[in-house]
Amino acid sequence: MKNKILIGLAASVIGCSTPRPAVPTQVIQYRGIVIEGFPAYTQNTIQALDLIYYRDQGNWSIVQNNITAIRFNPPSRIDVYTGVFDTDANITTSTQYQPLPWVAGEIVHDAWHREYFRRGEAYNGLQGEKKCLERQNEFFRKIEFTPVNVERALQTRYWETQRNW
């Protein structure tokens, strides 16, 4: 109890929020990709991977070749060197970004970041985000999910802000 109070006090002094309670995590391997997180997160990730696998083999190949692990480890980002994709399972985003097709689309999007990096093409910044959003939309059209308005998304310059998604 005393340690929790001290940690909370230290966090508030340095401007952090109260630390999140520890959540039991599991590490599994599914279709060659390591998934790490709490049970509901790993199940949701498996369902998202299955959606890609069964509905879009072309993007499945990109995901399989570029994503080595998917972890619950905010903020959301892909390590283009290792293929580790960290997410927060959209817990801090609005509910419109939480359905399974959206989660699958994020996996496709980030797999393309690494694919473009490996090809020596623009993979980040305005050009990289535009290309990855377009690939994400191709996937959304195949699964009959509402595509992203690419121009509106790019206007926000979301990749330049500190985020927890």
Instruction: Give the model confidence (pLDDT) of 48-76 as tens digits.
Output: 999 999 999 999 999 999 999 999 988 88
Alpha carbons 43 and 50: distance in angstroms, whole number: 11
Q: Global pTM?
A: 0.80
Instruction: Give the model confidence (pLDDT) of 19-42 as tens digits.
Output: 444 567 899 999 999 999 988 889
pLDDT at position 156 over 90 = no
Instruction: Give the model confidence (pLDDT) of 79-90 as tens digits.
Output: 999 999 998 766
Q: Where are the domains of the chain?
A: 24-160
- Going across the sheet that includes 26-30, the strands are 26-30, 33-37, 69-72, 84-87, 77-78
Higher pLDDT among residues 11 and 121, named by residue: 121
pLDDT at position 78 over 60 = yes
Element (H, E) at 10: helix 2-13
